[in-house]
Amino acid sequence: MRARLKGFENVRLSVEEAEASLNEAADRLSIPRSAWSGEDFNVLAISGGAAGGAYGAGVLVGLTRAGRRPNFAIVTGVSTGALIAPFAFLGPQWDDRLQDAYIGGHAAEALGLGGLSPGLEPGLFRTVALQRLIHPFVDEALVSAVAAEHRLGRRLLVATTDLDSEKPCVWDMGEIALRGGVKATQLFRDVLVASASLPGLFPPHRFTVEAEGVAYEEAHVDGGVTAPLFIMPEALLHWRKLGRRMQRGRVYVLVNTVLEAAPRTTALNLPAVLVRSFDTMLRVSYRQALSIALTFCVAHNLPLCVASLPDSPAATENGGMLSFDTAAMRKTFDEAVASAQAVDFWRTPGVRPEPWTDLLASFKGGADPP
């Protein structure tokens, strides 16, 4: 039984569906060779990290200022990475909007006391709080711009987690954008809200779908629950034609959290334990995801370029990644802008698959991309 969104067929792809019909999936998400002739076929994967998204936003702005921002054929995003992804996809001309979204004080306002749930919703904050944070920056102009790039063969993909099936769901945001109009803009926003709905912090986002003529609702939460970051939908990792498409490509990964362990005493109170547990979960899951990414890149002879949030008091104390304090996010953003302009900003791990402990060590001494 295959559920569909009425009027938006073929805009999402489950791993199971891709595995059942690999050719169909490849056709749906493939990049026309003519669209990228003469250019490198670059992929950008942007991770989650809650307030750490200020880092990824700052990196993109810094790369623009340095004149070294790559063109990306494919951009994927999860959680806060999903919110960054449309701006990364559309390019430097959208940097002002991206910057305002992350350090304009909107997160602190939307996720302040006024955004707290009265206790009737399954989340600390109300759904409307996240909607108020996202909707002003994702309008019909942005959606139309995504549609135009999609027509050229580029792809913008966002992951959510379908709680009912306990599986990741990959959304082709360009395909949504192509439909145009108010409904397309609303669905585009809804997918971003769902991908950023961290369980416990926000309630699940519900999508009305139909299967065999029966309508029902699916509950979707943060894509990071099942896919901390993804380079491409799982089934396409084994697409034989992929290697030829990406012969001149490079994979870039932006990790919006601290990868290195930061030993320190944890206060024995509920908020401190929850925050520390959340930060630890992110570190471990992203290390594992990077190990998988490295294996993929080695198999296809692709350079892997990684950047992650450096350890600092702003990143690991006073709420860590769950603190949306504007001053702290601005500090993270400004430091990312400055560091991204350095010639040796990106790090490339070793050329062989390694356990994630060795992988992490290789970030410090790896060769830099040209």
* Predicted local distance difference test score (pLDDT) of residue 228: 78
* Predicted local distance difference test score (pLDDT) of residue 244: 61
Half-sphere exposure of 338 (CA within 13 A, CB side): 7
Assigned token pair, 264: 């320190």
From start to end of the chain, where are the E strands? 12-14, 42-46, 74-78, 155-162, 167-172, 205-211, 214-222, 250-255, 304-308
Residue 286: closest CA among 56, 26, 19, 117: 56
Task: Note the pLDDT tens digit of each residue in 322-340.
Answer: 677 888 889 999 999 999 9
**Partners of 77 in beta bridges:** 46, 158
pLDDT at 171 over 70: yes
* Predicted local distance difference test score (pLDDT) of residue 354: 41
Instruction: Report d(CA 266, CA 347) in Å as an integer.
Output: 31
CB 5 within 8 Å of CB 12: yes
Render 340-359 in DSSP notation, one character per residue: HTSTT-SB---SS---HHHH
Stretch among 113-117, 172-176, 228-232, 317-321 having the lowest mean pLDDT: 113-117
Instruction: State the average pLDDT over residues 220-225.
Output: 86
Q: Residue 286: what are its φ and ψ, rounded to 5°?
A: -75, -35
In terms of Cβ atoms closer than 10 Å to its own Cβ (0-12, 13-18, 19+), residue 370 is exposed
Q: Residue 279: what are its φ and ψ, rounded to 5°?
A: -65, -40
pLDDT at 361 over 70: no
Band the pLDDT of 85: cuts 50, 70, 90.
Answer: very high
Instruction: Report d(CA 369, CA 363) in Å as an integer.
Output: 12
Band the pLDDT of 224: cuts 50, 70, 90.
Answer: confident
Instruction: Report d(CA 287, CA 47) in Å as an integer.
Output: 11
Task: Note the pLDDT tens digit of each residue in 99-133.
Answer: 999 998 777 776 654 444 555 565 566 677 788 88
CB 179 within 8 Å of CB 191: no
Instruction: State the average pLDDT over residues 131-137.
Output: 88
Band the pLDDT of 4: cuts 50, 70, 90.
Answer: confident
Task: Note the pLDDT tens digit of each residue in 277-292.
Answer: 777 777 788 888 888 8
Task: Note the pLDDT tens digit of each residue in 17-70.
Answer: 555 444 444 455 555 554 555 567 788 999 988 788 999 999 999 999 999 999
> What is the Cα gyration radius of the chain?
19
**Can you say whether the dihedral through the CA atoms of 275, 284, 230, 328 is positive or negative?**
positive
Instruction: Report d(CA 279, CA 74) in Å as an integer.
Output: 28
Assigned token pair, 210: 């139909």
- The alpha carbon of 140 is separated from its chain's Cα centroid by a whole number of angstroms, namely 21
**Partners of 252 in beta bridges:** 44, 305
**In sequence order, which residues have a C-beta less than 8 Å from that of residue 165 and are 6 or more positions away?**
14, 218
Half-sphere exposure of 233 (CA within 13 A, CB side): 32
* Predicted local distance difference test score (pLDDT) of residue 107: 74
**In sequence order, which residues have a C-beta less than 8 Å from that of residue 170 and are 6 or more positions away?**
12, 13, 14, 15, 157, 158, 159, 230, 233
Residue 196: closest CA among 224, 165, 232: 224
CA distances from 364 to 307, 350, 361 (A): 11, 11, 6
* Predicted local distance difference test score (pLDDT) of residue 317: 53
Highest mean pLDDT among 7-11, 304-308, 355-359: 304-308
